């Protein structure tokens, strides 16, 4: 993931950063807001977590640990499914779910098929 663009708003005292893997017209982009002069945010309970797909969840978690980050759930299959997930925390304590690409989807297909059968 790389920084695609950044815009400072001096009047509002904030900066928007847009990160992603490619051109915004072709791929999804994550918008991050930095509020100037804010030392710490209250985590609260109105936000759960974001999820990011990764090519190698085990190597990603190893890299997070190597860089001093916190892995709060080691990689492995999710409960009641086969999708391989892990959880890490960002420096502010927010949860980030990692999903091993290529392992997700079979549960969703089965749920959709079951919904069609039940109609």
Annotated binding site: which residue ranges? 31, 49, 97
H-helix segments, 1-119: 57-66, 106-118
For 78, which DSSP code?
P
Annotated binding residues for Zn(2+), written as ranges, equal: 31, 49, 97
Round to whole Å and give the CA distance between 59 and 73.
14
Out of 13, 39, 89, 97, which one is annotated catalytic?
Answer: 97
Active site residue 89: no
Pairing between strand 84-89 and 49-54? Answer: unpaired
Write out the catalytic residue numbers. Answer: 97
């Amino acid at each position: 993931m790389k920084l695609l663009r950044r815009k400072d708003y001096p009047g509002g005292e904030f900066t928007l950063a847009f990160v992603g893997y490619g051109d915004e017209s072709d791929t999804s982009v994550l918008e991050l807001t930095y509020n100037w002069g804010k030392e710490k945010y209250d985590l609260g309970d109105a936000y759960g977590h974001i999820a990011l797909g990764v090519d190698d969840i085990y190597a990603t978690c190893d890299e997070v640990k190597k860089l001093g980050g916190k892995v709060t759930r080691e990689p492995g299959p999710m409960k009641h499914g086969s999708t391989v997930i892990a959880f890490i925390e960002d420096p502010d304590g927010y949860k980030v779910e990692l999903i091993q690409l290529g392992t997700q989807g079979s549960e969703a297909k089965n749920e959709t098929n079951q919904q069609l059968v039940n109609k």
